[in-house]
Amino acid sequence: MPNATQIMRNGSRLLAARDKLFAEQDAGFRVPLRAEIEASWRRSMAHGVRPDRFSVPAVEAATWADVLLLAAGPVADAVGTDLAGTGVSLLVSDQGACIIDRRVPDAGLRTRLDRIGLAPGFHYGEEAVGTTAISVALQRRGPALVAAGEHYSDTLTPMVCAAAPVTDPGTGRVLGTVGLACLAGAASPLMVALVKRAARDIEQRLADGVGRPAGDGAGYGASSGWDSLTAPSAMIAATPRSAARLPPSCTCRGTRSTSTCGRSSASSV
């Protein structure tokens, strides 16, 4: 992946070129896009996603996402505390790009994220909202940074997002992602390093047995150095996985967070 500072700079430059990019798509994008971003844009187009229309479906997370939720909780708590005052939020998604948890210390940013459905129980896959760091990280099975104009949807262009996949150490299966999201003015090149570190620590907790039912042959183990289980998480961890459930916001169906905007209004998000 190129230098994060350069990615953010190019993402800002793309804001002024988006109309031209979409007008020329049939002839090939003449304004250079990173390979993974162009591939994601083309997949988004194939899904019929329109950059000027934004609709986020509410979904139910996969039944095994409670394992990731439990393992990620203390890491998210610790990172969330460190993010206070930075204007940056932390997000956890499952393998299907459903947001299952988040930490947003800044109230103003929380309101913005709620407005665009970047909250537990909403689906941020390419087929729903186009290119995001979550979708690129899941596709590449590696860390991703998507900056400003690199987002496919106009509504997301004020944002910079980084994400890294979380892999089950026992099976190698990608369980989901841990990511950071903020307005472009609050972004830092260190976002990629932080999500990679958070993903490693969640994976260590999974290796230690956190979130596994007693019959899996592994206990809940020690934490990886961030924090021990919070009291609510410990109560859930004591429950067999089949009986554990995600927060109520992850079980809603049939509603959508919708916004229709021209490119000129995307900055209002």
State the burial class of residue 88 (Cβ atoms within 10 Å of its Cβ: 0-12, 13-18, 19+): buried
119 SS3 class: coil
Sequence letter at residue 89: S
Tokens of 107: 């109230």
Q: How many CB atoms lie within 10 A of CB 50?
A: 15
Instruction: Say how many domains are in the chain.
Output: 1
Q: How confident is the model over 52-76, as pLDDT tens digits?
A: 999 999 987 666 688 999 999 999 9
218 pLDDT higher than 60: no
Rounded distance between C-alpha atoms, residue 166 and residue 205, angstroms: 11
Sequence letter at residue 176: G
Rounded distance between C-alpha atoms, residue 222 and residue 61, angstroms: 26
Tokens of 7: 């990615």
Contact 163, 177 (CB under 8 A): yes
Q: How confident is the model over 5-35, as pLDDT tens digits?
A: 888 887 887 877 777 777 665 555 556 788 9
pLDDT of residue 248: 36
Tokens of 4: 């994060």
Tokens of 226: 């961030």
**Phi, psi for 102 (deg, rounded to 5):** -160, 160
User: Taking the mean position of all CA atoms in its chain, how far away is CA 263?
Assistant: 23
Rounded distance between C-alpha atoms, residue 218 and residue 154, angstroms: 46
For the segment 90-107, the average pLDDT, to the nearest whole number, is 96
- CA dihedral of 107, 111, 116, 117, whole degrees rounded to 10: 80
210 pLDDT higher than 90: no
Rounded distance between C-alpha atoms, residue 123 and residue 93, angstroms: 9
| DSSP code of residue 44 | H
For the segment 102-113, the average pLDDT, to the nearest whole number, is 96
pTM: 0.77
Domain span at residue 68 reads: 4-268
Contact 210, 229 (CB under 8 A): yes
Per-residue pLDDT band at 251 (split at 50, 70, 90): very low
Say which CATH number the domain at 82 has.
3.30.450.40
Tokens of 246: 């995600």
**Phi, psi for 237 (deg, rounded to 5):** -65, -25
